[in-house]
A and B are shown apart, each in its own frame.
Chain A
Amino acid sequence: MLNQFASTGLHIEVKTSVLFHVGEFGVTNGMLTGIVGMIIFLAIFFYVGRKVKRGQSNRLVQIVQWAFEGMYGQIEQIIPDKKIARGIAPLALSIFFFVLISYWMSVLPGLDSIKWNDAPVLRSVTADLNFTFALAILSLIATQWYAIRQLGHIGNLKRYFRNPIKDPIGAFEGVLELIGEFSRYTALSLRLFGNAFAGEVLLVVMVVLTSYGALITLPVFIAFEMFIGVIQAYIFFILTVIFTYLAVQHHGDEHSDHSASPVPSGDEQK
């Protein structure tokens, strides 16, 4: 079996492959699949939105509404302030559903076998570090945005920078918080990339190893990958919400210490 495996000359590449160029801009396989995923994602949601607006319903609408309501319920459970929950919901829910659709696209038949310019056409956008980093950066920006809105610029900076003479432990904690702010988003993006990339490799390896037996083994691994897709989408979604909550929650901690706050919280504003 190892001979067979070795003789296939299986070429696994971490980075996405450029399929063609639009001007100087290289369009990669991950990007192409991502655009297709984005079209599917937008089509489904605009269709569901239109149906819901008209008061019509069908099975797809019900499933999407059920998933949407469930996920939004999770946001409200984590972030009790409805205003912030509603604010972060579009990003968090878009991440969940888009990552899910993109991840599931990695199990489409033709993975690694349909090629153009010697590069596989199908590659999930979630297995592209550019995309996972993009998501992490957007999450980071959203978190900082809400933290600044809740705490103010100075208040938000105080989360990271404190007077080492007055509060040496707090100052050290702030440095750790600053490092943690970047590391948690890096970990978030690498986790999604690692799982998606490993999933694709796993499927290709299973096809190579089991040959015609792949007809039996592949559906099992495809189902497994689809399940992992749900888990990964959920993890990215829930961690984005939790990180946002932690950033705005900091305000509550400060409040309990009776320190001055430049901007009142959402509850106080009400």
Chain B
Amino acid sequence: MLETLLTHVASAAEATGETTEASGDIMSSLGIDWQMLAFQIIGFALIVFLLGKFVFPILLRSIDERNAKIEEGLKAAREAEDNATKAQSKIDDQLAEARREAKEIVATAKDEATAMLSKADEKAKQNAKHVLDQAHDEISKEVIAAKKALHNETLELVASATERVIGKTHSAKADKAVIAEALKGADK
């Protein structure tokens, strides 16, 4: 089996050897033909020229356009990001300003409320004092009136008691004069 294969291989090698000998050089045994080589070089150079002139510039332009679009998109995204950052910082500033103003308003309101409260308190105190003074006056007047009434009543009681003690009735006018005189003497 192997022998058969080897025989075939050997005969093929022999045939190749003969061909090489006949052609006289390795180039022709490898199939290299200068005419063919020149034809292939010119043919392929022509392909490169045609494609390089008419097709590849279009494809390269499309790549450039796509890259430009991508670059543009990235630039727009970057700008949008910058704008968003700026807007955010503006919002933050405005919020901080609003907070500061709100604090100021609250502080002012607190001050005003405190002032109003103290004013109201003062007014209330003044009102209370006024009411108290009025009350004191009225009480004093009432005390004086009560004292006067009590004085008169006491005079009557004394007259009545004296009348009963002495059993003799005097006229009221005479009694009052006697009592008043007695009281004056007592006061002295």
Contact = CB atoms under 8 A, between A and B. Distances in A.
21 contacts: A2-B5, A31-B40, A34-B40, A42-B50, A45-B51, A45-B55, A46-B54, A52-B58, A90-B49, A90-B52, A91-B48, A91-B52, A93-B51, A128-B40, A129-B31, A131-B44, A133-B40, A134-B37, A134-B43, A137-B41, A138-B48
B4 A2 contact: yes
Interface string A77-94: 000000000100111011
A7 B1 CA distance: 10
Nearest to A24: B35
A65 B62 contact: yes
Contact of A94 (B1, B36, B48): B48
Nearest to B15: A11
B41 A3 contact: no
A90 B44 CA distance: 11
Interface SS of chain A: helix
B31 A15 contact: yes
A113 B32 CA distance: 24
A72 B50 CA distance: 18
A69 B63 contact: yes
B4 A49 contact: no
A49 B31 contact: no
Interface string B26-43: 001111110111011101
Nearest to A55: B62
B36 A135 contact: no
B177 interface: no
Given A129-B31, A134-B40, A48 B55 contact: yes
A28 interface: yes
B60 interface: yes
A25 interface: yes
Interface of A: 2-3, 5-7, 9, 11-12, 14-16, 25, 28, 31, 34, 38, 41-42, 45-46, 48-49, 52-53, 65, 68-69, 72, 86, 89-91, 93-94, 98, 128-131, 133-135, 137-138
Contacts of A65: 59, 62
A91 B51 CA distance: 9
Interface residues of B, number: 36
B45 interface: yes
A72 B63 contact: yes
Given A15-B30, A138-B45, A89 B54 contact: no
B44 A134 contact: yes
A69 B59 CA distance: 8
A3 B56 contact: no
A15 B25 CA distance: 13
A179 B151 CA distance: 155
B22 interface: no
Interface string B8-36: 10001000000000000000111111011
B95 interface: no
B35 A138 contact: no
B45 to A, nearest CB: 6
B44 A135 contact: yes
Contact of B2 (A2, A25, A93): A2
A149 to B, nearest CB: 16
Contacts of A38: 43, 47
